[in-house]
Amino acid sequence: MTGSKPDLIVIGAGIVGLSSAYYIKKLNPDLDITVIDRAPTIAQGNTARSAAGFRDLFTSDINFELSHSTMQFFRDVQKKNKYDLGMKFVGYLFLMGKHDKRVEYMESLSKKTGVRFYDEKDLKSLDYLNLSPAGENSGIMNLPDIELAALGQNCGIIDPGLVCNFYYEELRKLGVSFSFNTDVQMVRLSPVKPLDYPGEPFLWQDKTISSLKTNKGELNGEQYLLATDVWTTGLTDPLGIDSHIRPKKRQVFQVSGDKIRDVVLSSPFTDERIFPFTILPKEGVYLRPAAQEKSFWVGVADDIGRDFSFSENPEAEDDFYNMSIYQIANSYFPILEGARVTAKWAGYYSYNTIDKTPFIFRSMNLVIATGTSGSGILKGDGIGRFTEAVFSGKDKVQLYNGSEIETSSLGVDYRMIDKEKIIL
């Protein structure tokens, strides 16, 4: 940083910080903006640890609009601008029993987006899939039979690194500066009119964020944007501002083997011919194709029993794969037997525990964009536009697909509570 006082300092160079900075700069070209991150480069936080799937299959209207418009934007960036985002329309395949509540969600979603249904007869032709996990374990584990499936046709997989690179390159072109290896240790609260008296700011003083204490010294900006995902709470708690989020650890296991290799690149569902991002009927265990490695990434958004503890360097747990995930996944996909875990990693969802939609709000000269609840990449463009609208004090945000949303609906005071029911 040059020592001058930028109009805006964005803290966090993940998908949320980058897309937000992009729309703020694009619509306010005169603003001097600096993006800082404690990592040595962009997209090193949870953006790098995701399962990198995209879908517009959400029950909450706002999640649907954010994801649907983001997918359209990304698709156009890749198709029209010819900027590769690694986007592959492999589909999201929900395997379900007839009484699964997701059947109803999918039927309702099929009225707004591409959803194709398959019955038991269609699925029987997939010889690697066990529709009816029989035997002793099935009883203990209470595994539902697969009786139908719904394929989200506009869904698929993407490369979050390439998405972030797209925004980063655009930001560089627009003249936004970056400062990496810059760790914010404290967000300083000060009086608007300081008296230089110990103990300020007092109750009766108007308050503002005056600076950031960092490993590189004090950084001053006119305004600040926190796009720090699960780390937001640590920065806002001392200010008395509630981040409204809690961390939940999430793990991904890359599983490889001869039988898996044959299946990953042979899907009858889409033109991509790649196995779809597949969600099992039990607990939402998913298999995500990793086409290049000819492997599956296997994961789950486990809930009860997964505590809210947080560590800086979370690790994927072998026992969790062997004793929990594998037991379900292998019952439906016996091709997993004998396969090896060839890579694994862990990160966190920044959960908005009330409705599982993001929180984007302003407090003083600080805007906070967090609570992506496990789907920040696939909503990344919509979130960026939303944050710009909040930053600029607009009542409404217009998304890429033309839909308009009240900016207050993801805020704190007048939030529209519309609980998301499809969390993966």
Ligand X SMILES: Cc1cc2nc3c(=O)[nH]c(=O)nc-3n(C[C@H](O)[C@H](O)[C@H](O)COP(=O)(O)OP(=O)(O)OC[C@H]3O[C@@H](n4cnc5c(N)ncnc54)[C@H](O)[C@@H]3O)c2cc1C
Give residues in contact with ligand X (CB under 6 A). 11-17, 36-39, 44-47, 49-53, 183-184, 227-229, 231, 235, 250, 252, 299, 347-349, 372, 374-378
User: What is the Cα–Cα distance from 10 to 176, expressed in whole angstroms?
Assistant: 10
Residue 296: helix, strand or coil by DSSP?
strand
Of 173, 310, 314, 228, residue with least CA distance to 38: 228
Least CB distance to ligand X at residue 313 (A) = 12
Nearer to ligand X, 17 or 281 (CB): 17
User: What is the Cα–Cα distance from 391 to 384, expressed in whole angstroms?
Assistant: 10
User: What is the Cα–Cα distance from 25 to 151, expressed in whole angstroms?
Assistant: 38
Nearer to ligand X, 143 or 399 (CB): 399
Nearer to ligand X, 67 or 130 (CB): 67
Nearer to ligand X, 148 or 385 (CB): 385
Eight-state DSSP code of residue 143? P
Least CB distance to ligand X at residue 57 (A) = 12
Least CB distance to ligand X at residue 266 (A) = 22
Nearer to ligand X, 10 or 397 (CB): 10
Sign of CA dihedral 234, 19, 223, 38: positive
**For residue 17, what is the enclosing H or E element?**
helix 15-27
Nearer to ligand X, 110 or 179 (CB): 179
Least CB distance to ligand X at residue 281 (A) = 19
Nearer to ligand X, 74 or 332 (CB): 74
Nearer to ligand X, 148 or 296 (CB): 296
Residue 225: helix, strand or coil by DSSP?
strand
Least CB distance to ligand X at residue 258 (A) = 26
Of 279, 329, 301, residue with least CA distance to 91: 279
Least CB distance to ligand X at residue 16 (A) = 3
Least CB distance to ligand X at residue 398 (A) = 22
Q: Is the peptide bond before 201 cis (omega within 30 degrees of 0)?
A: yes
- Alpha helices (H) along 250-317: 258-264
Least CB distance to ligand X at residue 98 (A) = 27
Which of 85-101 are b and which e, b meaning 16 or more Cβ less than 10 Å from the residue's Cβ? bbbbbbbbbbbbbeebe
Q: Cβ contacts of residue 72 below 8 Å, gap of 6+?
A: 400, 401
The number of beta carbons lying within 10 Å of the beta carbon of residue 43 is 24
